[in-house]
Amino acid sequence: MEPNLLLHTSEDHAGIAITEIKAGEKAHGLVLADHAPIELDVSEDIPLGHKIAVRTVSAGQPIILYGHPVGKALQTIRPGEHVHTHNMQSLRWP
């Protein structure tokens, strides 16, 4: 199956949807650094280009993307959930 989710490193907390992914579907991902596959159930609609959590991130914890912290979780974010401005504060634009 073709991937619909890409992660840069295996340490990333979220990946980027490379297609629109609907709630109830499976995300089929690929880690670019080592080509490891990843699969998870999606609980919310994820628009093309948006982030989707691949592991639980607790409130206040940094969110790692592209191998670097890009923000912090405003609430607990679970695998398969949309990661966006409603549950993440950017480090660049506080």
Domain that holds residue 80: 5-90
Phi/psi at 36 (nearest 5 deg)? -70, 140
Measured between alpha carbons, how far is residue 61 from residues 7, 36, 80 in Å? 19, 25, 17
Could you tell me the two tokens for 6? 């890409």
Is the pLDDT at 12 greater than 70? The verdict is yes
Q: How confident is the model at residue 94 (pLDDT cuts 50, 70, 90)?
A: low
The pLDDT tens digits of the residues spanning 15-71 come to 999 999 999 999 999 999 999 999 999 999 999 999 999 999 999 999 999 999 999
Residue 43 class from Cβ within 10 Å (0-12 exposed, 13-18 middle, 19+ buried)? middle
- Looking at residue 92, its pLDDT comes to 82
Residue 59: CATH number of its domain? 2.30.130.110
How many structural domains comprise the chain?
Answer: 1
Q: How confident is the model at residue 93 (pLDDT cuts 50, 70, 90)?
A: confident
d(CA 90, CA 94): 6
Whether the full predicted model's pTM is greater than 0.85, yes or no, is yes
